Each structure stands twice: as C-alpha cells, then as structure tokens.
Amino acid sequence: MDIFQAIILSVVEGFSEFLPISSTGHLILASQLLKIPQTEFVKSFEIFIQLGAILAVVVLYWRTLLTGKQVWQKVAAGFIPTAIVGFLLYKSIKHFLLGNTTVTLLSLFFGGLLLIYLELIHKEKDHHADTIQNISYKNAVLIGVFQSLAVIPGVSRSAATIISALFLGTKRKAAVEYSFLLAAPTMLAAVAFDMKESSFAFSAYEWQLLGIGFLGSFAVAIVTIKWLLGFVKHHSFIPFGVYRIVLALAFWIFIIK
C-alpha cells in the first residue's frame, strides 16, 4: 500500500462509515479496484482508520457525551451484544470475512433489497422515541444484537442499527444519532483488540500510512455526519438501498472476472 492508496481508503471510510452502505464492504471493493493485496497490515489499516470516524463523533457530540449519563447507559446497553460477538468471532471475522468480495457483494445486494422493503413498510408514529434517552434498555440491547450482524462485510453497521431502531419505535433523527454514538465504543473496541493482536508491530512507514488514514477518515466523517443529519429530515433510506444494489451488480458485471 502506498500513500495515495491510503488517502483513497481513508476517504472511503469517512464517507461510508455512517451511511447505511457498509464501510467495510466499500473498503474491500476499493482495495480490489486499487489492486491492494489483502495482507494482515491492510486488514489492520481498514480497522484502525475507524478511529478517525470515532473522533468525528466525539467532536460533534462532545456535549452530549459529557452531560448525557442516560445516553451513555443506552449506548453501553447496545454495545454489549456486539462486544460478545466480536470477541468470540474475531479470528473468523478477520481471516475469513474481511477481504471476501463474494460475501461483500451478496450482502450489499440483498441488504439493499431489504433496506428498500423495510423503508416502504415502515410507518413512524407520534409516540415513538424522539431522543436517545427515551429509547428503552430492552430496545437498546436489541439494536445492539442487530448491529452484531455487521460483522459480515457488506451488511452495514449503520443500516442494521438505524433500521432496527426505527422498527423498535424510534424516530428517524434519534435512530441516526444513536447509531452514531453506538459506533464509538464498537469501533474503539475493534481497533483496540486488533492492535493488541498485532502487538503494534508496524514499521515506521506503516505507522505513517495509519496516521494518514486516521486524519483522512476524520475529516470526511465530519462532513458526512452533518450531511446525513440534514438528509434524514426530508428523505428515506431508499436511495441508499438502490445504490447498494446498483454497486453490487456493477461490480459483479464489470469488475469480477
């Protein structure tokens, strides 16, 4: 991997992390387009640069994080199921799922169909939770269970959390913001665990690439989060479902040999 490739992947991560289109899936496809071999370092890079996206959430929501005790409790409740699944399946996820183009494309395609269908049948009601504080602990845990499905590349952590929150009785803006905040401990745990497993055994050049990836994903994630909050006020997630389907088909037809 060179510096140009690191910059491209960081932009892809920052753009796709909080959208319901699967950042992991996009990183896998981008790596294939850029002809980057799926080495252990590249897999660690794709996990590490999520720290930039985490920092973007912290920067934008620092007041909520400092003063919202109930928010943290709901986020912790949602994080537990994902932590258990991630801990138990870490090796399988990294060695068999990350970098698997076929799994990624199938997940993007069928996930797109499901996203469109669920949006078409979803009806928001006045009594639905309009803030994170109003999400019940039971629903927070259930959202975390659905988030754990995102260990499969192409599923999308954001899609799993947002759509499950909507169907569990959460209004759209609150569902999106809960997804943002739930991402922080989830991605931080993934990065910490991967760094521990790799023993931080990176060369000076690899640390440089990690730093570039971190800064790039942070800058792009800031813009993406602000844009998404404005988008959900007037739109559904159907365009993202269509995008997933088109991307999967286009990649399968024109790229896969």
> Which residue is it, tokens 């570039």?
212
Rounded mean pLDDT, 67-72: 82
Express each pLDDT in 149-173 by its tens digit: 888 888 888 999 999 999 999 999 9
Cα 143 → chain centroid: 14
Portion of the chain with pLDDT greater than 90, in percent: 51
Express each pLDDT in 75-84 by its tens digit: 999 999 888 8
Express each pLDDT in 87-114 by its tens digit: 777 666 666 566 678 888 999 999 999 9
pTM: 0.86
CA distance 79 to 72: 10
CA distance 16 to 28: 12
Residue-level pLDDT at 96 = 59
- Is the pLDDT at 257 greater than 60, yes or no? no
Residue-level pLDDT at 66 = 77
- Is the pLDDT at 11 greater than 80, yes or no? yes
CA distance 44 to 39: 9
